[in-house]
Chain A
Amino acid sequence: MSAPDTGGDSYTESQVIMSTVKIVTPFVLTYGLFVTFHGADTPGGGFQGGAIIGVVILMLAFAFGIEPTRDWLANSTVIGLIAGGVVAFAGIGVATMLLGGAFLEYRLLPIPDPVRYGMEGIEILGVAAIVSGTVIGLFFVTAAGFTAETTARPERSRVGTSEGDQPRIRGDTDTEGDD
C-alpha cells in the first residue's frame, strides 16, 4: 500500500505477492478442506473450513487481479455454492422426514454409519458451501464498487409521487406538467 488509492482499480502486479500466493495457496486450500472434512473429530467444521476455502480465492484475486479472477470463476459458481448449500442442507433434513423420521434424524439414512456421515454431509455440502460462496461473493461485490451508474433503477410507473395526486388513467406516461 504505497501509492495512494484513487478509487480505481488498485491492482499492482507484484512478483513477490504472486510467487508467495502460488506457493502458499495449495497448502491453504488443503488446510481448509482438512478443517472442513475432519471437523467432526478435531476442532473446526464447515463454517471455519468454508471461510478458509473462500480466502483462497481472495488470495488469488489479490495476487493476479480481481477482474481476471472474476472472469475465471463464473458468477453462477458462486451463486450455485450459496444456493446449493441451502438446498443440500434442507435436502438431507427433508430426506429423513420422507423416510419416516424427524428433520435431520440421521440414523434413518440408508448409508453406512448414517449419523456420522449425515453430520459430515450437512457440514460439508451445506454449511461449508454456503460460507465459502458468501465470502467470495461479498468480496466480488465489494471489489466491484458502488456507483450511481451500476445501480440505476429500472424505470417504474411513478405512482403517488406527490401527495393528493390523482391516479393516472393513462398508465406510466413520462410526460410531466399536462394539468
Chain B
Amino acid sequence: MTPLEATLIAFVLVTAVATALFRDVLSAIIVFGAYSLGMAIIYTLLLAPDVAMTEAAISAGVTTILLLLTIAKTVRPPTDELFESVNVPALIAVGAFALVLGAAVLPEIPAVGDPDAIAWANPEVTGYYLQNTYADTGVQNSVAAVLAAYRGFDTFGEAVVVFGAAVAVLLVLHREVFA
C-alpha cells in the first residue's frame, strides 16, 4: 500500500462518516461529492478507468447537482449544531458489527494483481476475453467489447432500465413532459 492509497482510503472513510454525521444537509451533500471523487481516484488506482469515469460523472457530478436542486426546491432546516447527536449504544453495536465483518472479510480479499485471485477462478472465460477481444471485434478496450459485443443483450437490458427509470419518474410525478 503506497502512501497515496493510504491517504485516499483514509479520505474516503472520513468523508463517508462525515456524510452520515453532518447535521446540515448542504454540508452533507458537499462532503458526499468529495467522497465520490475519492472513490473515483481509488478506482483509477485499481486500474478500472471505466468504472472511475462513471463514478466521477454520475456520482460526483449528476447526483450532487440533483441533490442540491432538491434542497433548493424543498426546505433546508436551520441547525445550530454541527453534527448529529450520536446514539452511543447503536454506535457500539454497529461498530462491533463492522469490526467483526472487517476482520472476517478483509484478510480474504486478494491483493491487487494477485494471480490466484478469485476473478481467475474461471480462467478460460476471463482469459478468452482478454486474448481474443481484438481478433474478434477489432476494438482495443476489452471492457467495451464485453459490454457491447459479447454481452450485448445484457447491455440492451441495462439501457432499457435507464429508459424505464426516466419513464417511472414521469409516472410518479403525474407528468407527461420533462418540465
Contacts and interface: CB of A to CB of B under 8 A. Distances in A.
A130 B158 CA distance: 11
Contacts of B26: 1
B75 A127 contact: no
A146 B70 CA distance: 10
Given A137-B178, A144-B179, A122 B152 contact: yes
B75 to A, nearest CB: 7
A163 interface: no
Contact of B137 (A79, A119, A146, A150): A119
Nearest 3 Cβ contacts at the A-B interface: A43-B49, A104-B152, A40-B139
Interface string A119-142: 100110011001101111111111
A122 B155 contact: yes
Contacts of A54: 62
B136 to A, nearest CB: 7
Contacts of A152: 174
Given A5-B76, A137-B178, A40 B169 contact: no
Contact of A82 (B70, B141, B166): B166
22 contacts: A5-B72, A35-B53, A40-B145, A41-B139, A41-B141, A43-B141, A45-B141, A45-B148, A48-B50, A52-B57, A54-B62, A55-B65, A90-B156, A93-B152, A106-B149, A116-B137, A123-B148, A133-B166, A139-B62, A140-B178, A141-B175, A150-B173
Given A135-B62, A142-B66, A93 B50 contact: no
A113 B138 contact: yes
A6 B65 CA distance: 18
B137 A115 contact: yes
A115 B149 contact: yes
Interface string B113-154: 000000000000000000000001111110111011100110
B62 A51 contact: yes
Contacts of B94: none
B90 interface: no
Nearest to A129: B159
- Place the interface of chain B in its size category: 35 or more
Contacts of B74: 7
Most A Cβ at <10 Å: residue of B26, B166, B178: B178
B111 interface: no
B69 interface: yes
B160 interface: yes
A3 to B, nearest CB: 11
A136 to B, nearest CB: 7
A51 B159 contact: no
Contact of B159 (A106, A127, A151): A127
A4 interface: yes
B162 A131 contact: yes
B41 to A, nearest CB: 14
